[in-house]
Amino acid sequence: MAVLGQLLAAAAAQASVPIYSDPVSIECTPDTFNLDQQGLPVSNPMDPTQGAACLMGVGPGGTGANQVNQGAGKSANARVTSSRDSDSTNDNASLGNGFAAELAAGDLGSGWGVWTSYVRGDYDSEFRFLNRDLGADTDLNNVLAGIDRLIGDRFLLGVTFAYEDSATRSGYNGGNLDGEGFGFIPYVGWLINDIFTADLSFGYSFLDYDQNRVSVRDGTIVTSNFDADRWFVAGNINATVVRDSWVFGGRVGILHTQEKQEGYVENGSAATVAAGAIWNVHDRNIDLTQFLVGGSVAYTFSNLEPFASVTYYNDTSRDDGASAGGLPAAFTQTRNNDDDEVQVGFGVNFFTDFGIYGSLQYLLIEGRDDFDGSTFFLNLRADL
């Protein structure tokens, strides 16, 4: 899953020449460069989806949906699996994806459940092109709250409400990109048998982005704002096998997300406008399809269940940067295979005797050539 990015941020010294991308020809980083009098590459003002986003094969549309999907999908899977385990003879029945709870038969009450999650991602790009720094740092926060109901003992229907906040800093152009949005995510879970479960979620979000950068003409600030709509669909097939106190899990899934960003016109000083350095940026569509496969192992004792997980992600479709925020044409010869990553996770699941349980998890993102990151995940759930 992986992936975050937006771009623009924090203070660039006026003595240096920032690198900007063409906001019309591609959506990520420049596919063509011009040289200034010192022979340094310069181009048009930076598009709001590049840098770390490009290297991830995903812009802000993809990474936000990926984080939101973690909360909704994991909780859906945990809830539907609890139905199976409530009828088992194992007092410390394991829930899907590593959740655990002491649920005796009949403890599901009305079949209703409520939950909340917090997901924070920190992402760093150290990408360089023509000996120039294109690095960026992104922080993304998601807060989710959901409610669902068991239908019989095999199906779960629910809905999640989500809030996201992002901040990206790119020192090479003195820029910042801040995003905020709200969304809703219906989801369904299916208890297939004693080992397998499946979950499917759909999401739609309304987003607003504010960005700024330093003008190379006079050092003043250039600002802009645009709205965006994002949708995603994600599905997983999960497996859980319990052997005494050991819990083994596996997951195969796919995520597809698309974000449509409205066009905008930058605002800047009279000198910047007169120099023709204010840009009218066209509408953009960012999309990503990502496949994942992973496994986990946990050990249950008392009311705790520490676990470790490894998940492989592959960007199966990202249009080489043309619309996915993937790898633009200028970089394909050196970055054409940078389309996958591995996420290594550590955490602990916990449960109580009064129907509240949850999980804490920390993920490390590795495997991209010039990109790494980490994600913190907290989930709390109560069965009513």
pLDDT one-digit tens code per residue, 92-110: 333 333 333 323 233 444 6
Q: Which residues pair with 246 in a beta bridge?
A: 243, 299
Mean predicted confidence (pLDDT) in 191-201: 90
How far apart are alpha carbons 66 and 36 in whole angstroms?
Answer: 39
The H or E element that residue 76 is part of is helix 60-85
Domain boundaries, the chain: 34-332
Comparing 10-14, 265-269, 367-371, the range with the smallest average pLDDT is 10-14
Inter-CA distances, 332 with 33, 41, 43, 337, Å: 15, 18, 19, 8
Q: Which has the higher per-residue pLDDT, 35 or 299?
A: 299
Comparing 130-144, 210-224, 241-255, the range with the smallest average pLDDT is 130-144
Dump pLDDT digits (tens) for 9-45.
222 212 222 222 222 222 333 332 333 333 333 333 3
Give pLDDT, residue 70.
Answer: 59
Residue 302: count of CB within 10 angstroms of its CB: 8
List the beta strands (DSSP E) in the chain.
34-35, 41-42, 112-125, 128-129, 132-133, 136-151, 155-170, 175-191, 196-214, 221-243, 246-261, 264-265, 280-281, 284-299, 304-317, 340-351, 356-366, 371-383
Confidence of residue 231 (pLDDT cuts 50, 70, 90): confident
How far apart are alpha carbons 85 and 102 in whole angstroms?
Answer: 9
Give pLDDT, residue 44.
Answer: 35
pTM score > 0.85 for this model?
no
Secondary structure (3-state) at 183: strand
Contacts of 215 (CB under 8 A, 6+ apart): 221, 222, 268, 269, 271, 272, 277
CATH 2.40.128.130 correct for 34-332: yes
Above 60 in pLDDT, residue 278?
A: yes
